[in-house]
Structure 1
Amino acid sequence: MWAEIDWTRAPEGTHRPALAFTGGGRSIQVPLLVVNDGERARRRARGFVEAHGYVSVDAAHFDREVPRGGARWRIVRGLGRRTAAVEAVPTTAQPVTEDLTAGSPELRYRVRFTTAGTFPVTVFRLPSLDERGERRLAVGLDDQPPAVLSGQAIATGNRGDAWVRNVEEGVEKLTARVTVSAPGEHVLRVFMVDPGMAVDQIVIDTGGAAGGYLAPPESYRRT
């Protein structure tokens, strides 16, 4: 069943109504969270919108790509679980391990949060390793220091069960935490650390994302 809101009649503000389903001698209440910032605010809003307790992003749908140091992110059609993924190229570029915000190629995603707090952000990356047995990237929100995430390394020549599972599933999930200081529009930033890193999806869990094999459906995005 699909429920929609008549925004012309919904009062402004944050509301928590419920849908009641009755039948077979039972009644089930399904809670909803309705946030109406008003028509003017909706016209100004840009980016991915938090809803259902998460923000889900297809990595190829960035707002801006910033090349730096002779490296960049490129969209690779047909790669990943939906329509495309993004890859840090060229593979011969030098890793960037210091001063990422000034020297690393970057992806920026505008996100509109309805809640504040510190939340896990999970990057779904395509499993691949370089000659050192790892690949890294970094994520951050706004001007916060980015956190470096490392793909599964090969230890003593044995890839282990975790790496085998990642290859079988075609994805490795790397998680950091970001702090949303206040509801409203923010910028999620993804930085290359090692070239060849390929990113498929990104999920920020604000309290409602269900665990599972796949990322949730992509969040509503206003461009």
Structure 2
Amino acid sequence: MNSLLCCQDFSALKFDQLLDIVDMTNRFRLFGRNFFGHSSNELILSLEKQTVSYFKRYHSERMEELRMFLENECFTICPVSQQFTIFDLQDFSFLEESRKQKTDLVGSPKDAVAEQSGFVPIPANFVNPFATAELKSRRQSQRNSRSVDEVEEANMENGSLDKQEEIEATPNLCNTALTLLRFFGRYIRMTSLLPSIADYSVPALTQLFEYFFYS
């Protein structure tokens, strides 16, 4: 697997495709560490190198996209529902999934065995983490995936109030701010999957915010 990562060109991948690769590599590494006591250090180094290279280019493109939003749309009003939260954006849905996974893993009896032996035996009820990866990825992308377009459509259909009353009663965000939130969600998700790139992703998040704020 390390050879595959080293030889691949990630530049043509979409961001979600890269996240799938990082997630699958993490599963592979966790499987090797838990059941075979292998740390897979070389695999992680290869993944970090490829991911950092991709992330630098991706961030440059997102900065350019943000610049275009600021120049062309700037603070164009986008009505949202009263109950709108960042979890209505698909890019943040992973946070709820991560929270549930951490809750399920608290107090696992396997931890003590793993600390003593360095690995644990494969149980009889073992579930293949690689076979379920694609299914989980699809469920996650579908969960809480209400786009801003859907929010706008829902508000347009609710036309019982006149336009002025609707503007006063409905919270408003600007398209550029929503785009910025999406970028934040993608960067945070990447960092949660591969914490070692925080040296690059955290300054990138700050740069995005400062560019938006001071513009």
Same fold by TM (over 0.5)? Answer: no
Q: Which has the larger radius of gyration?
A: 2
User: TM-score by structure 1 length?
Assistant: 0.24
User: Which protein, 1 or 2, shows the higher relative CO under an 8 Å CA cutoff with sep ≥ 6?
Assistant: 2
User: TM-score by structure 2 length?
Assistant: 0.25
Higher strand proportion (structure 1 or 2): 1
